[in-house]
Amino acid sequence: MSDRISVAKTYKLYIGGKFPRSESGRVYPVTDAKGKFLANAAHASRKDVRDAVVAARKAFPGWAAATAYNRGQVLYRVAEVLEGRRDQFVAEVSSSEGLAAKKAESVVDAAIDRWVWYAGWTDKIATVLGAANPVAGPYFSFTVPEPTGVVGVLAPQGSSLLGLVEVLAPVLATGSTAVVVSSAERPLPAITLSEVLATSDVPGGVANILTGRAAELGPWLASHGDVNALDPTGAAPADRVELAREAANTVKRVLTVPESEPDWTAAPDLTRLRRYLEAKTVWHPLGV
C-alpha cells in the first residue's frame, strides 16, 4: 500500500440538522473492542440536551403534519442511504462491537431491513390502530393515532447500530421527533447514522443524536418539561427508577423496557410504535 496518511475525522454531535461540537468543549476517547484508540467523540452536556430538545420541538409540528406517505418515503430514503454506506457501517459495527466481519454484515443488514420495516408502517398505523366508533347516538365519531411529541431516547449500550435503529425508527415513523443519547462506548455507528439522516431528506431537528453518557444526560431528558416520552433502554437498570420518577413530574410516557438489553434480531412488534402515539377521538353531530 502507499504511504498515504488517512484523513482523520473529528466526530461531532447532530443537533437541528447540523453537526456542532459539544457546547462544553468536552470530548472522550472511543476505542475499539480491543481497546485501541479510534477517535475522540463529543461529550454532550446538559446544554446540548436542551439545544437538542429545542430543535426537536421546533421540528415536531412539521414532521407530525407531514403526510404518512411522505414520512414513509423519507424513512425509506434513509434505508437507501444506509444501504449505500453498508461497508462503512460493517467496519464500524465490527470494530465497535468486536464482531467478525460476517456477523457484522448480518447485523448491518438487519438494521437496514428494520428501517425499511418501520418506513412501511407510517401509512398503516392509523388503519390498524385507529377506529370508527359506533356510538349510540346521531354522531360521527372516529379515533386517530397521533404522535406524542418529543421523545427522549437512551439508546442501547451494547447494540450500536441495530439497537439504535430499533429505538429511533419507531419514534420517527409515528411522527414524533427524537433526542437520542447514543451508546457511550460504541458511538461511531450512531455518528455515521447522523450523517445518513442529514443526507436523507429527514428534516433538521427531527432526529438529534448526542454522543455522551446516559447516566449524565438521562436525568436531564427525564426531567425536561418539553420532552413528552422517554425510552430508558440505555440507562443502567439501577438508574431507571430515578429516571421514571423524574419523568412523572411532567406525566411523561415512559417505555417499559427489560432489565437487560434484548436480542434486537428478534422480530419487532408494535409496542414501541404504540407507546409514542396518542389516540384522538373526534365527534361531530349527524344531521341535514
Partner 1 sequence: MPVFEYAPAPESRAIANLKDSYKPFVNGEFVDGSGEPLKTINPATEEVLAEVGTASKSDVDVAVKAARKAYNGVWSKMPGTERAKYLFRIARLIQERSRELAVLESLDNGKPIKESRDSDVPTAAAHFFYHAGWADKLEYAGYGPNPRPLGVAGQIIPWNFPLLMLAWKIAPALATGNTVVLKPAETTPLTALVFAEICQQAELPPGVVNILPGAGDIGASIVAHADIDKIAFTGSTEVGKAIQRQVAGTPKKLTLELGGKAANIVFEDAPLDQAVEGIVNGIFFNQGHVCCAGSRLLVQESIAEEVLEKLHHRVSTLRIGDPLDKNTDIGAINSAEQLAKIRGLVESGDAEGAERWTSPCPVPDRGFFFAPTVFANVHQSMRIAREEIFGPVLSVLTFRTPDEAVAKANNTPYGLSAGIWTEKGSRILWMANQLRAGVVWANTFNRFDPAAPFGGYQESGFGREGGRTGLEAYLNV
Member of 73, 141, 223, 265 binding partner 1 (CB under 8 A): 141
Site for partner 1 in 233-272 (CB under 8 A): 240-241, 244-245, 247-251, 253-254, 256, 269, 271
Member of 1, 35, 267, 285 binding partner 1 (CB under 8 A): 285
Q: How far apart are the C-alpha atoms of 7 and 27, rounded to whole Å?
A: 19
Nine cell digits for residue 57: 420541538
Place of cell 440538522: 17
Which residues, other chains included, contact 179 with Cβ-Cβ below 8 Å and sequence gap of 6+? 49, 52, 53, 56, 150, 151, 152, 153, 208, 210, 221, 227
Site for partner 1 in 38-77 (CB under 8 A): 65
Site for partner 1 in 148-177 (CB under 8 A): 148-149
Relative orientation angle of helices 162-174 and 101-119, to the nearest 10 degrees: 10
Member of 38, 54, 129, 198 binding partner 1 (CB under 8 A): 129
Residue 105: enclosing H or E segment and its boundaries?
helix 101-119
Member of 137, 260, 267, 288 binding partner 1 (CB under 8 A): 137
Measured from the CB of residue 247, what is the shortest distance to partner 1 in angstroms? 8
**131 forms part of the interface with partner 1 (CB under 8 A):** yes
Which of 66-74, 96-104, 124-132, 197-205 is the region at the interface with partner 1 (rule: CB under 8 A)? 124-132
Across-strand partners of 277? Answer: 147
Member of 133, 199, 201, 236 binding partner 1 (CB under 8 A): 133
Task: State the DSSP code for 24.
Answer: T
CB 189 within 8 A of CB 165: no
Which residues contact partner 1 (rule: CB under 8 A)?
A: 65, 128-129, 131, 133-137, 139, 141, 143, 148-149, 228, 240-241, 244-245, 247-251, 253-254, 256, 269, 271, 274, 278-285
